[in-house]
Amino acid sequence: MIVRRVLITLAASALAAGCVEIEYQPQDADTRMLTEGRWVDLTHDFSDETIYWPTSETFHLDTVFAGHTDEGFYYEAFSFCTAEHGGTHLDAPIHFAEGKQRVDEIGLDQLIGKAVVVDLSGPVAEDRNYQIRISDLVAWEEENGMIPDGSILLLYTGMSSKWPDPERYLGTALRGEEALAELSFPGIHPETARWLVENRTIKAVGLDTPSLDYGRSTQYESHQIFFEENIPGFENLANLGELPPVGAFVVALPMKIRHGSGAPLRIVANVQ
């Protein structure tokens, strides 16, 4: 950053002196990452089809006005109502850990960075209630190297292919408390969450399922383990299968809800 400021100062001085020939400085790798490559949207859109936790309110979009005004120009405006935790969204640590970060307290640096993507679609195809194991991550590291410090860890299960059918995605189309016993989808085993916080340094963790914990969980232990360490979670992601194991650059920006325990999330990834 200091070098870049010096170059800008020298360039300004040269222009002031009437010297307009400035040597082109090639972009560094991080800059190229944002200006080149392909952007992948990891976000499901919000609509009346958006899947929410069975006990949560769903997404509602109401028309304020749509049409031509009395003055003759066209105008549209809508209002919406939504629960924090539904669709593609962020779980803030306060969601399951008292005294930890709320949505507006999570630093931008924790939501932006290089990602590693672990493909669990094979075991999940065999068992939709699969809990991601330490051995899955060890096997990934044997092939790709240790998960770098400061990574955003994304876990691809293939469940997003079942979106937006709640019965196929959640395991049930029921709503309310009675639906909780019918939930069926993969998640992160608590032993794996514990191993990660004790042995690796990650910024955030996300996956293409409704929850960090698997559907049959009643204690949500993986949530508790990550959130005690102020590691936020991204849930209901899309298109993770389009990302490479290493090299993607992720930008995950939630609606900045003051004191929120979660928020709708727009998350994208740049792939070179």
Q: In three state form, how does the secondary structure of 123-175 look? A: HHHHCCCCEECHHHHHHHHHHHCCCCCCEEEEEECCHHHHCCCHHHHHCCCCC
Q: Half-sphere exposure (CA, 13 Å, Cβ side) for 245? A: 14
Q: Which CATH number fits domain 38-50+84-271: 3.90.1330.10, 3.90.1170.50, 3.50.30.50, 3.90.226.10?
A: 3.50.30.50
pLDDT in tens, the chain (272 residues): 444 443 444 445 444 445 445 454 556 666 666 678 999 999 999 999 999 999 999 999 999 999 999 999 999 999 999 999 999 999 999 999 999 999 999 999 999 999 999 999 999 999 999 999 999 999 999 999 999 999 999 999 999 999 999 999 999 999 999 999 999 999 999 999 999 999 999 999 999 999 999 999 999 999 999 999 999 999 999 999 999 999 999 999 999 999 999 999 999 999 99
Q: Which helix (H) or strand (E) covers residue 34, if one does?
A: helix 29-35
What are the residue boundaries of the structural domains of the chain, listed by start? 38-50+84-271
Main-chain dihedrals φ then ψ at residue 67, nearest 5 degrees: 150, -165
For residue 100 the two structure tokens come to: 């930890």
